[in-house]
């Protein structure tokens, strides 16, 4: 960490600093050398309550960039990936683009973990910055894989994975660069539906939030009061917004999914490319929904 202090996960004392990716195009093009449009700092502290195996963070450039109750995030190529604490073993959410496994492994080691400790990998949606590293992470960990049932065929190779860009010109220009970021197909062991508990953590529920992709999911921790939205929302320059339009094929559905999230109780919101909203998350989301009308 930047101040040289270790972070005790079991007491929740944390001081972290990290670079925030700013939009969906930036996080996809980052892997081919494009520069993100802005950067920010992310600091957090709170009662985390991790299992003892998490121990103390080691000094590492790849260590956690955000921590919270029962959750932390580390860097991968193209995105943040999330680790959720569970009595049955840690859960990894998303895997970055193809080739991200060594970076994820370094982040896990900073928390006294390694890939074999991971018991479950959850994919929030099929885009390559979220699923491209799945084959590497699955092979290194031996963990089971979970994704929404709609997108399981895209991940296991039964169907070809689409170019994520909606606009034809972006699809034509960036497609040849983006498509190789997908990894090899991986069998999906758990096909998730709206309202399901995670297979090894019944305190975290699946919320189907289609629009950004048909099988896009968010995860809700009722115990700790956080909502992990993947790319269903953006948190750019301190403001909440909907997903990036140029990689969201059904924007009306995406807005409906955002409105749906107000059915649930949560205080913080966690993202795949931005620092978390650490308090007053539901009220801030309600203000965003009000702006839709």
Apex 276 CA angle, 274 and 279, nearest 5: 150
Predicted local distance difference test score (pLDDT) of residue 289? 98
pLDDT (tens digit per residue) in 138-148 = 999 999 999 99
Predicted local distance difference test score (pLDDT) of residue 293? 82
81 within 8 A of 104, measured Cβ to Cβ: yes
Give mean pLDDT, residues 230-240.
96
The residue among 177 and 27 whose pLDDT is bigger is: 177
The residue among 29 and 173 whose pLDDT is bigger is: 173
* Mean pLDDT for the chain overall: 84
34 within 8 A of 26, measured Cβ to Cβ: yes
pLDDT level of residue 52 (50, 70, 90 thresholds): very low
Predicted local distance difference test score (pLDDT) of residue 172? 95
Q: Where are the domains of the chain?
A: 24-292
The residue among 45 and 126 whose pLDDT is bigger is: 126
Q: Is the confidence at residue 45, as pLDDT, over 50?
A: no
Give mean pLDDT, residues 237-250.
96
240 within 8 A of 266, measured Cβ to Cβ: no
Q: Kindly state the percentage of the chain with pLDDT values over 70.
A: 79
pLDDT level of residue 62 (50, 70, 90 thresholds): confident
What is d(CA 293, CA 59) in angstroms, rounded to the nearest whole number? 47
Q: Which CATH number fits domain 24-292: 3.40.190.290, 3.60.15.10, 3.30.2270.10, 3.40.50.1220?
A: 3.60.15.10
């Amino acid at each position: 960490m930047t101040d040289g202090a270790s972070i005790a996960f079991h007491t929740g004392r944390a001081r972290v600093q990290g670079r925030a990716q700013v939009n969906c195009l930036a996080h996809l093009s980052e892997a081919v050398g494009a520069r993100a449009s802005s950067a920010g700092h992310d600091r957090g502290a709170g009662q985390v309550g991790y299992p003892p195996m998490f121990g103390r963070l080691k000094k590492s450039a790849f260590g956690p960039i955000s921590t919270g109750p029962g959750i932390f995030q580390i860097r991968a190529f193209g995105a943040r990936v999330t680790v959720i604490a569970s009595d049955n073993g840690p859960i990894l959410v998303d895997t970055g683009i193809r080739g991200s496994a060594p970076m994820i492994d370094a982040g896990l080691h900073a928390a006294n973990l390694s890939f074999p400790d991971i018991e479950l990998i959850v994919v929030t949606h099929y885009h390559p910055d979220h699923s491209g590293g799945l084959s590497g992470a699955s092979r290194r960990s031996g963990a089971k894989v979970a994704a929404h049932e709609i997108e399981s065929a895209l991940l296991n190779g039964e169907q070809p994975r689409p170019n994520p860009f909606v606009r034809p010109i972006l699809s034509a220009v960036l497609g040849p660069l983006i498509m190789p970021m997908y990894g090899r197909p991986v069998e999906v062991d758990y096909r998730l539906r709206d309202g399901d508990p995670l297979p090894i953590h019944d305190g975290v529920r699946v919320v189907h939030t289609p629009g950004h992709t048909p099988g896009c999911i968010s995860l809700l921790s009722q115990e700790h009061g956080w909502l992990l939205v993947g790319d269903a929302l953006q948190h750019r320059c301190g403001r909440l917004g909907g997903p990036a339009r140029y990689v969201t094929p059904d924007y009306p559905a995406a807005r409906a999914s955002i409105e749906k999230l107000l059915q649930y109780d949560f205080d913080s919101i966690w993202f795949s490319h931005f620092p978390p909203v650490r308090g007053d998350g539901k009220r801030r989301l309600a203000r965003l929904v009000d702006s839709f009308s």
